[in-house]
Amino acid sequence: MSRVSGRGLTLAATALGSSLAFIDTTVVVVALPTIEKDLDLGLAGQQWVVLAYNLSLASLYLVSGALGDRYGRRETFVVGVVAFAAASALCGFAPSEGVLVGARFLQGIGGALLTTNSLALLREVYGSESGRAIGLWTALTSLATVAGPPVGGALTEWVSWRWIFFLNLPLACLTVVLAVAGRCPRRETTRVGRMDVVGAALAAVGFGALTFALVEGAERGVDAVWWAIVAAAAALVAFFAWEVRVSEPLLPLNLFRRRNFAASNADTFLTYAALGAVLVFLPVYLQFLGFTPFEAGLALTPTSVLMILLSTWFGGLADRHGPRLNLCAGPALVGVGILLLLPLDEKSDFWTWGIAGLLVFSVGLSMLVAPITNTAIASAPESLAGIASGVNQTVARAGNLLAVAVVGLVIAVVFDARVDTPGEQPLGPNQTSSELRDASIAAWRGGALLAAALAFAGAAVGGAAISNTEALGRRRVLRQGALEPQ
């Protein structure tokens, strides 16, 4: 098979496989009320259906990337797809809460294997054009993410919630067929040596405990998750101490001496923190203003549409001219878009300030998503592309979760400082008194200002620390390698 055909099939496989993992997060949330009635989950059970998946996913990004580097990204990607499909079937047949939660945990393992290695695989087969390829991957996964919740809602309402999991099976089969058919020559061999099992275990425990603490701490308070915070800190300190000493580490720490690798991951942490906070709290705020849940979800559609239309172009632009402009201007536009949402205090304001803010926010998001991911992966040696992808996805999720917790705390503190009535919650949909309404608007603005500040900090990192010279030099090396006889 020609390299061009193999690339196209590989892109289709990675986009479809990753879409399965991304969609499953949103679709399950849509179906939760129906699943709760069928299996008598209760509130805690509903939370664990979501948390079990996120917990295993975040715990294993780093380990999944390392496995791909050592045993082949395409092979590890296919294993991840098969594992995800098998766990999906178990979810669909689940007779009880315990089985469903366990199957969701297994789904997260498959999801980590396939998402991390999908990006590393694109780097492997596209080389110097991987920015444009990741832009296409972003557009295709965004399209699937937009279509997923309505399809999942229709299946849940008119067929059965179990079919949101069974639908994964034929799509997973198609993904495997595309991935195998798209096999094309590698330019470099995979990483050699023994797997760092101790490092892998410490990383999984550390990032898993950290994810649990951030998610549950935001819901139940720090006092309820102190043990997870201690476990995360101890495991991560032990992980980095071990990585310094071991001869063949899971995560070679000298990667962070590469300017673009360190800078792009710092930029990722800050920018994805801002994105996570807005995408969680803006729909809540819109419903506070009087939007229905459907209208609040629909209001964010332009963001996905612009990403579908623009991500490939911005990814190719960064490939040709270097990523610094994208990684500076993109987060800055995200920050400006958030600031434009601040005057939004009535439902009617959405058609002026709301639309303007979301358009600017969406252009900034489209400008940065593909280049920031590609810069993080491309700045590492190809033999470490999987671990580079795992680091970047771990950093993005950590920033997202941490910001949601901190911005939520800011919203609560600002609201409580302005309200004398105990027991009231910020951004409640039925708040009619001027005191509660004004307090909720002020609380939203406090949280939005923090999110904007995070975005502007990401822009500062992108402008000051990203090197076009390093990125374009690496691109020339990859192009020369691609021209060598296979």
Secondary structure (DSSP) of 260-301: HHHHHHHHHHHHHHHHHHHHHHHHHHHHHTT--HHHHHHHTH
Domains parsed from the chain with CATH numbers = 1-182 (1.20.1250.20), 196-249 (no CATH), 255-486 (1.20.1250.20)
Helices and strands, counts by H and E, the chain: 17, 0
pLDDT of residue 188: 45
pLDDT of residue 412: 85
Work out the pLDDT band at 482, boundaries 50, 70, 90. Answer: very low
Alpha-carbon gap, residue 330 to 335, rounded angstroms: 9
Work out the pLDDT band at 25, boundaries 50, 70, 90. Answer: confident
- Residues 418-425, mean pLDDT to the nearest whole number: 78
- Residues 110-115, mean pLDDT to the nearest whole number: 93
pLDDT of residue 250: 84
83 vs 28, residue with greater confidence: 83
Tokens of 165: 């999991």
Alpha-carbon gap, residue 238 to 420, rounded angstroms: 46
Taking phi over 0 as left and psi of -120 to 50 as alpha, with beta for the rest, 171 belongs to alpha
Alpha-carbon gap, residue 190 to 213, rounded angstroms: 35
Instruction: Find the Cα–Cα–Cα–Cα dihedral 15, 16, 20, 25, rounded to 10°.
Output: 30
- List CB contacts of 337: < 8 A, sequence separation 6 or more: 357, 358, 359, 360, 361, 362, 363, 364
Does this model's pTM top 0.95? My answer is no
The DSSP output letter for 191 is P
Q: Where are the beta strands (DSSP E) in 21-131?
A: none
Handedness of CA 123, 128, 133, 134 (dihedral sign): positive
Tokens of 213: 């603490």
Q: Does residue 436 surpass a pLDDT of 90?
A: no
| φ/ψ of residue 2, rounded to 5 | -70, 155
pLDDT digits (tens, 9 = 90+) for 173-219: 999 999 998 887 655 445 555 778 898 899 889 988 888 888 777 66
